[in-house]
Amino acid sequence: MTVQYSAVKTSGKVLNLYKDPDSWFWLSGSVNPYRGCEHNCKYCDGKAEWYRVDQFSSHIKVKVDAQKKFAKELLKLGFTTEKRPKLDNFIHMSSNKPSKTRTPHSIFAIGGGVCDVYQPAEAKYKITRKLLQVAKNFHLPISILTKSDLVIRDIDIIKSINKQMYANVAFSITLIDDKMREIFEPNSSSTSDRFLALRKIRSENIHGGVMFMPIIPGIGNSEENMKSIISESKKMGAEFILPSGMTLKPGKNKQEMFATIKTYFPSLMPLYTDFYGNNNKYGIPDYSSGKYLNPIRFVHEYCKKINLPDRIPRFISPNSIQANLFVSTILFNIAYYYQYVENYPWRKIVNFFNAAKTIELFKHSIQDFRRNDLKEKFTSDEVVLDSIEELLQTRKSTILSQYQNSEDTFVMTPKLLDD
């Protein structure tokens, strides 16, 4: 396949700010230097029509002014290039405007869900490297997700960002067998090269891990594949491995993946037509039949066995309202395990999730709140209230101890609770 590049000026904003707290990756926004991705992964969600990216893998639009717009938008939001900016609060910027006395501080993804920032175009245009330089100038904590070992080229800047604030580099790894990987991810780095890049990242004391996503039904969810990826991640120094199932949105996204399965794994077509026959607009498969083993539960149990976290440790700035973010992080993680590991009904999860979201965005520390205050402002659920009180008083969670050995697995910060 011949790939064409087109240099374009960014229309609209280059920085995408999230409306709600991100309880999976702990991000507040993302910036994409490209539209389209020549890795051409067969299951790629970015090929879905609602992203409005035509010729997704063959015509790559290069946002040649992305770094300039990124810097301008950060200044407008209240960020500063001062050497040690004073930040007295964490603000979720889509719901709170910066003020003269409060500067927004968030983790941004250099990249997003609809392109790989280290696809082959980056070797020529170096837009991602320029975005990283902007992040460094503004002392931003950043996160990168890639399927390419090209990220090692920028280890100098990433290391500097991590030293002054925080940087996390994660590699999307789905299949341990590289011949199998070539079927689904034809233009990405090999599985072994990604693992070697992870080892290099971790050897430089940069935070990093593996996004085991998507776990491809009937293929990636084999016990051999899952154990191999988890074990190799541990061997290469991963701080975490985060699993996820596979979504297929109706239209191009689903059609291309189905065509790939029909060509290479025709015996799996009944599974796919049954599993994705609901045509859910978000591509969420139908788990109701019970025919498909929950891979996230398997990953969790095996990760726990070898002492590898299956959640990304959250960086909490020492200048944020730490008590609030610590509590919300733990509540979000409880909701995650209840939903994806235990498969509990939403009614048992929703109060944890909603309380976490409200506390995350609350503008004052809840460190010294009494139970009546917590009940009035956040939740009337007694189990959730018990959890919040326990966290504030002891920094422990009885519920979460079933899933991880320590709350420190979930957060990283110099000081966990406010004075």
Given this model, what pLDDT does residue 96 score?
45
Q: pLDDT-based confidence at 391, cuts 50/70/90?
A: very high
- Cis peptide bond N-terminal to 214, omega within 30: yes
Cα 216 → chain centroid: 18
For tokens 């509590």, name the residue: 327
- Whole-angstrom distance, CA of residue 193 vs CA of residue 236: 12
Give the number of other CB atoms < 10 A from CB of residue 354: 16
- Whole-angstrom distance, CA of residue 238 vs CA of residue 195: 9
> How do residues 11-53 score in pLDDT, each as one tens digit?
889 999 888 889 999 998 999 999 999 999 999 998 988 788 8
The conformational region for residue 98 under phi > 0 = left, psi -120 to 50 = alpha, else beta, is beta
- Whole-angstrom distance, CA of residue 212 vs CA of residue 176: 11
> How do residues 357-387 score in pLDDT, each as one tens digit?
999 989 899 999 999 999 999 999 999 999 9
For tokens 């968030």, name the residue: 106
| End-to-end Cα distance, the chain | 59
Asked whether the CA dihedral 108, 13, 139, 364 is positive or negative, the reply is negative
| Axis-axis angle for helices 155-164, 191-203 (nearest 10) | 40
Torsion over CA of 182, 186, 188 and 193, rounded to 10 degrees? 20
- Whole-angstrom distance, CA of residue 335 vs CA of residue 295: 17
Can you spell out the DSSP letters for 117-149?
TTSTHHHHH-HHHHHHHHHHHTT--EEEEES-G
Q: The tokens of 398 are what?
A: 């009885």
Asked whether the CA dihedral 277, 279, 283, 284 is positive or negative, the reply is negative
Given this model, what pLDDT does residue 20 score?
85
> How do residues 321-334 score in pLDDT, each as one tens digit?
889 999 999 999 99
Given this model, what pLDDT does residue 336 score?
97
Which whole number is the average pLDDT over 121-129? 97
Spatial contact of 308 and 241, defined as CB atoms under 8 Å apart = yes
Query: Is it the case that residue 7 has pLDDT exceeding 90?
Result: yes
Instruction: Indicate the average pLDDT of the chain.
Output: 90
More confident residue, 122 or 79: 122
> How do residues 83-94 score in pLDDT, each as one tens digit?
554 443 334 444
> How do residues 183-224 score in pLDDT, each as one tens digit?
999 999 999 999 999 999 999 999 999 999 999 999 999 999
- Whole-angstrom distance, CA of residue 182 vs CA of residue 412: 36
pTM score of the predicted model = 0.92
